[in-house]
């Protein structure tokens, strides 16, 4: 066997877990507590004893960090597919990173009184429920991500990004637009959650 043949990578060999795509995913997870901390640094005691945003530099920094983290989500997915770096670890860690980032944003906006707690609870309950559901039915097969699920993620990220920007300083109506985008994300989140339950039931019935 020639030296050049030995040096060629084995196409059947799985990609290493330690790769650039997974590194970006882990970076996104590491950025979550920093993102939350920035929002806390911007907060001040409110009139009713809670916290409220001061819309200062730390709020802008938190919004920028959220945008950067979401960009890494796009980049690591593209890299994993283009360079054949898709791993089982990445399949698990990537959605976890997304849920931690979006969940952190939802919780902090509710803590700051900018988003009703019931909205945050419904979205987080759906995300947790779908995750548990996938684990329960994994013996029968994998529930693939639907177009609605992807739309849900886009709407959640877009709505949160706009709400994190101190738009009330620029124009109050922009803050209203951001809120209604989150409401649209809520509707799609619930509907896709119901769709996942139906898919799980069909998958279980087909397996039996």
pLDDT at 3: 44
Give the residue from 185, 167, 183 showing the smallest Cα distance to 175.
167
Q: Which residues are paired to 53 by β-bridges?
A: 43
Give the pTM: 0.84
pLDDT at 172: 76
What is the full per-residue pLDDT of the chain (208 aa) written as tens digits?
444 444 444 556 777 777 788 888 899 999 999 999 999 999 998 777 788 889 899 999 999 999 999 898 888 777 777 878 787 777 778 888 888 999 999 999 999 999 999 999 999 999 898 888 877 877 777 666 677 778 888 899 999 999 999 877 777 788 889 999 999 999 999 999 998 888 888 887 877 6
pLDDT at 9: 46
pLDDT at 145: 66
For residue 176, the number of C-alpha atoms closer than 13 Å in the C-beta half-sphere is 3
Give the residue from 149, 152, 159 showing the smallest Cα distance to 63.
159
Give the residue from 27, 126, 23 showing the smallest Cα distance to 70.
27
């Amino acid at each position: 066997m020639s030296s050049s043949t030995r040096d060629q990578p084995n196409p059947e060999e799985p990609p290493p877990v330690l790769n650039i795509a997974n590194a970006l995913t882990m970076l996104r997870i590491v950025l979550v507590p920093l993102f939350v901390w920035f929002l806390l640094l911007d907060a001040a005691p409110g009139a009713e004893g809670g916290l409220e945003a001061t819309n200062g530099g730390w709020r802008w920094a938190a919004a920028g960090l959220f945008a950067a983290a979401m960009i890494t989500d796009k980049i690591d997915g593209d890299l994993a597919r283009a360079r054949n770096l898709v791993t089982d670890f990445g399949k698990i860690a990537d959605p976890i990173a997304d849920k931690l980032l979006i969940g952190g944003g939802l919780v902090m906006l509710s803590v700051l009184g900018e988003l009703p707690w019931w909205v945050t609870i419904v979205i987080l309950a759906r995300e947790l429920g779908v995750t548990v559901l996938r684990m329960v039915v994994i013996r029968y097969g994998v529930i693939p991500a639907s177009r609605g699920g992807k739309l849900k993620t886009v709407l959640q990220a877009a709505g949160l990004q706009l709400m994190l920007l101190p738009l009330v300083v620029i124009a109050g109506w922009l803050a209203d637009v951001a809120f209604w985008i989150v409401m649209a994300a809520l509707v799609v989140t619930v509907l896709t959650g119901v769709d996942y339950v139906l898919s799980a039931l069909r998958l279980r019935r087909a397996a039996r």
